[in-house]
Structure 1
Amino acid sequence: MQSEQGDKPQAATLSLPARITVAVTVGVVAVGALFHLGMVFLHVAPSNTLSKQHATAVSDYVYPEFEQNWKLFAPDPLQQNIHVQARAEVRKAGGGTETTGWVDLTATDVADMRHNPVPSHSQQNELRRAWGYYSDTHNDQNQSTGSGGSDLSSSYLQNIVAGRLGPRLNGGTVVRIQARAATTSVARPTWSGESVDTTTQYRELPWWTVTTAPAGQENAS
């Protein structure tokens, strides 16, 4: 008795247009990844002819989203707790205005991260890096240090604060916002023999006028 032999199964293959699409997509992703790695490398590498020649383009690409910070591995890492706080001037329906109390935005992020096994990148780094970027490009009188990026760092921090507070607070429309940093030095261990002032120091920034209401829900201070 002759056994029946079915057709040999054929491996699924992509059509020519599909293969072209996949190849183009892979190529674009590869070029984009190489471009990103190249720009970040020029940013973190020691100063050289190429990085000097394209310094403006590199800075425009890296700041503020891809800024690199290696202070965690420095010989003298950060030894301060910095909380970014904000308040708003609100215009009421009757035409009057009121100033809200200070809202600790950093404390809100910390509370959201606590007991969260996968906190978001924004919760961990957005405020911290925005404040670091601003303080790196402005002196204690909130004047530009001339190192470049001062306008960008200011608008970046302003947009984050405005987005966190929302367009409406306490039944009114937010017309101005203000941010400040509350900095507290971390107490040294007793065995170190060091003594530091752990009093919280505040640095207030000028008021910013809210020109475009950010998307958000009404909050209460």
Structure 2
Amino acid sequence: MSTKTDQAPSDTEADAVAVATRPRPTWWVKLIAFVACLLTLWHVFASFLWIAPYSALREIPTQDVLASYMLPMFGQSWSVFAPEPINGDYHFNVRAVIEKDGEEVETGWVSATDVELSMIRYNLFPPRAGIQSSEVASGQMNAYNDLSEQQQAVAALDFAKDGWEDWMVGSFDKLEGDDKPSTVEYMKAEHLATAYATQVAYAIWGADAVVKVQYRVSRQNVVPYAERNNPNAQRPDPTFSTTGWRAPIEEEGQNRGNFADVFRAQFERTQQ
């Protein structure tokens, strides 16, 4: 006489039961995953277009859309590699005329670049705030170098009254000659540099005290490659873009308090 005994389910059967009873993702989880995949694909595609040589592919999202997405958070530079590696560094210095005890006093120069670099030196998690002045300086000097000597002479003048940007453009337009380089890109760089210098001056000397600001951009090359093994080799003298005094300007939506909290605290640390 045979008897029927119960047998425990095999591992395979147990796995099948577990899979069958496992709760499935809800529709919103699937939607979030789908959107995340789309964003990842777009970011990879945009980064590829940004670092690749220019081609018709860049016009698929259009250059303006691509630039607005990549800058300032995702901008990349591969100029550390040959054939034209970075061979110099930029500095952005600021000074101001401030009201003190009823008189206008001219301050000394402050290196905004040194203050910012102190944020990232020996820092495993460097903030992006540590490279802003270098990027501003690079853009300004590149645009400045594209100007003619006459235009550079105009940039060296003082424009320290309200509406000074229109005044400067008018001064450029009055220059003689039909082959003058365009000043559109320079005015963009000038506006950005002055706005940045304004925030630095406000952070250090106080917004209520600052009457006008001046910035100074310099670039200094490294020791030439041919002299790399010479222990007495010196870096070449820096070059400057000469600009005059400017009336302070601010962008809409800027928060001078937040800027001052970060920059002034770091500035004070560098003075210790």
Is residue 235 of structure 2 the alignment partner of residue 203 of structure 1? no
Could you tell me which residue of structure 1 aligns to residue 123 of structure 2? 116
* Unmatched segments (≥5 aa) in structure 2: 1-20, 156-171, 173-179
Is residue 110 of structure 2 the alignment partner of residue 103 of structure 1? yes
Could you tell me which residue of structure 1 aligns to residue 87 of structure 2? 79
Q: Which amino acid aligns with 2:97?
A: E
Q: Which amino acid aligns with 1:99?
A: E
CA positional deviation for 1:87: 1.2
- Among 66, 69, 74, the residue aligned to 2:77: 69
CA positional deviation for 1:104: 0.9
Q: Take 2:238 and 2:212, find their aligned partners in 1: how far apart are those partners? A: 25
Could you tell me which residue of structure 2 aligns to residue 175 of structure 1? 211
Is residue 41 of structure 2 the alignment partner of residue 41 of structure 1? no
CA positional deviation for 1:64: 4.3
**Residues 167 and 173 in structure 1, CA contact (< 8 A), matched pair in contact too:** no
- TM-score for the superposition, normalised by structure 2: 0.58
Could you tell me which residue of structure 1 aligns to residue 142 of structure 2? 136
**Residues 93 and 109 in structure 2, CA contact (< 8 A), matched pair in contact too:** yes
CA positional deviation for 1:150: 4.8
Taking a change above 3 Å as real, the CA distance of residues 87 and 116 of structure 1, as seen in their structure-2 partners, is: same
**Residues 90 and 173 in structure 1, CA contact (< 8 A), matched pair in contact too:** yes
Q: Take 1:64 and 1:74, find their aligned partners in 2: how far apart are those partners? A: 24
CA positional deviation for 1:107: 1.6
Q: Take 1:49 and 1:171, find their aligned partners in 2: how far apart are those partners? A: 47
**Residues 64 and 153 in structure 1, CA contact (< 8 A), matched pair in contact too:** no
Deviations 1:12-46 (A, max 9, x none): 969x8xx4444333333333333333333333333
> Highest CA radius of gyration, 1 or 2?
2
Q: Which amino acid aligns with 1:131?
A: A
Q: Which amino acid aligns with 1:183?
A: R
Q: Take 2:34 and 2:185, find their aligned partners in 1: how far apart are those partners? A: 33
Deviations 1:62-114 (A, max 9, x none): 344443322101223222232221112223463x4222111011222233333
Q: Take 1:147 and 1:50, find their aligned partners in 2: how far apart are those partners? A: 29
Could you tell me which residue of structure 2 aligns to residue 162 of structure 1? 198
> RMSD of aligned C-alpha atoms?
4.0
Q: Which amino acid aligns with 1:80?
A: G
Q: Which amino acid aligns with 2:77?
A: N
Could you tell me which residue of structure 2 aligns to residue 30 of structure 1? 37
Which structure dedicates a bigger proportion of its chain to strand?
1
Could you tell me which residue of structure 2 aligns to residue 185 of structure 1? 221
**Residues 93 and 172 in structure 1, CA contact (< 8 A), matched pair in contact too:** no
